[in-house]
Amino acid sequence: MRSSAFSAVISGFLCLSSLAFAQTDASKYAQAHAGFQLRLDAVGSDKETGGTDVKSQGYTVKTARMSVSGDLSDSLSYVVRLDVKDALYTDDSAGPDTSIAALERAYIDQRLLPGLVLRLGRFPMMTLSIESDYSSMDRYYDSYILGVVAYKVAPITTGADLSYTVAGQTLTLQSTNGVQEVSGPGRGAQKGGDLSWAVGYRGRLLGGIVRPIISYDRFTRIRNGSGVDRDGKAIYTAWAVGSLFTYAHADLELEYDTFAKPAFTSHTFDAAGQATVVDNKDVKINSVIGQIAYNAMESGLRPFFKMSRDVEKTDGDESFKANRNALGVEWRPGPKNVRYHAVIVDKYDADGHQGPVVHINERQYIVGMAAKI
**What is the tens place of the pLDDT at every residue in 252-286?**
999 999 999 999 998 888 877 788 898 999 999 99
Query: Above 70 in pLDDT, residue 91?
Result: no
Dist CA 211 CA 227 (whole Å): 49
Pairing state between β 169-176 and 157-166: antiparallel
Domain map (residue ranges) of the chain: 2-372
Residue of 136 and 88 predicted with greater confidence: 136
Phi, psi (degrees; rounded to nearest 5) at 144: -60, -45
**Across 221-227, average pLDDT:** 84
CB atoms within 10 A of CB 77: 18
Q: What is the pLDDT of residue 358?
A: 94
Please state the separation of Cα 309 from the chain's center in Å: 19
Dist CA 266 CA 95 (whole Å): 16
CA angle 255, 145, 149 (to 5 degrees): 110
For every residue of 154-220, DSSP letters joined together read: S-SEEEEEEEEEETTEEEEEEEE--B----STTPPPP-GGG-EEEEEEE--BGGGTEEEEEEEEEEE
CB atoms within 10 A of CB 355: 7
Query: Above 90 in pLDDT, residue 86?
Result: no
For every residue of 54-77, DSSP letters joined together read: EEEEEEEEEEEEEEEEEEEETTEE
Question: What is the distance in angstroms between the CA of the first residue and the CA of the last residue of the chain?
Answer: 32
CB 199 within 8 A of CB 172: yes
Q: Using a pLDDT cut of 70, give the percent of the chain over it.
A: 86
CATH architecture for residues 2-372? Beta Barrel (2.40)
Could you tell me which of 366, 373, 369 has the C-alpha nearest to residue 56?
A: 366
Could you tell me which of 36, 5, 14, 194 has the C-alpha nearest to residue 101?
A: 5
**Model confidence pLDDT, tens digit, residues 321-339:** 999 999 999 999 988 899 9
**Model confidence pLDDT, tens digit, residues 36-79:** 999 999 999 999 998 899 999 999 999 999 999 999 988 999 99
Q: Under 8 Å CB-to-CB from 150, ≥6 apart: which residues? A: 124, 127, 128, 132, 142
Dist CA 263 CA 295 (whole Å): 46
**Across 192-204, average pLDDT:** 91
Dist CA 10 CA 84 (whole Å): 9
CB 67 within 8 A of CB 82: yes
User: Could you tell me the pTM of the whole model?
Assistant: 0.86
The most distant pair of C-alpha atoms in the chain lies apart, rounded to whole Å, by: 70
Could you tell me which of 93, 155, 87 has the C-alpha nearest to residue 123?
A: 155
pLDDT confidence band for 212 (50 / 70 / 90): very high
